[in-house]
Amino acid sequence: MAWTFRFLEEIALADMAFEVEGESVEEVFRGATQALLESMANPSTVSGGWEHAIERSDTDLSALLFEWLSEIVYWKDAAGVVYQEAPLTLTQEGERWLLRARLIGAPVDHQTQELHTDVKGVTKHLYELTQLGNRWKARVVLDV
């Protein structure tokens, strides 16, 4: 694992925020994904059984990350699921970046899952994706 994340309690009182650092932009996407999944539920308490493949592309990495995280929240609400994992790959094809991912989870079950926060959306408030030398960093604020 080449990424780390931490929740930022001092950033937003009514919302939830996290910061991710990684050795590559793909690792930051993975770390941000994991932080979002863990903000909603403990992935180890979520069984599989529900899957959805996603493919998105953009020339703007920051927009692509925002769209990807927003898609995770959308499917949580649309399908009524929380996630066990969301494996992804991020590749560059010319000017465009291509994200291929799978959301793997199960319908919300209050009896068997350790549920955390009901995330309503990803916000642009203090949102950023930056490259710092040979490392990448993202800050994300969630509307809860």
DSSP 83-139: EEE--EEEEEETTEEEEEEEEEEEE--TTTS-B-----EEEEEEEEEEEETTEEEEE
CA dihedral (95, 99, 72, 54) in degrees, to 10, reads: 120
**In the prediction, which pLDDT does 46 show?**
98
Does pLDDT of 35 surpass 70? yes
- Count how many domains the chain has: 1
Burial class (CB in 10 A: 0-12, 13-18, 19+), 127: middle
Query: In whole angstroms, what is the distance from residue 75 CA to residue 13 CA?
Result: 26
**In the prediction, which pLDDT does 13 show?**
55
CATH of the domain at 101: 3.55.10.10
**pLDDT (tens digit, 9 = 90+) per residue, 95-114?**
999 999 999 999 999 999 99
Does pLDDT of 116 surpass 80? yes
**pLDDT (tens digit, 9 = 90+) per residue, 65-105?**
999 999 999 999 999 999 999 999 999 999 999 999 999 99
Looking only at the bridges linking them, the beta strands covering 3-7 and 16-22 are antiparallel
Consecutive H or E run containing 70: helix 61-79
* Owner of token pair 């710092």: 132
Domain extent, residue 119, equals 3-143
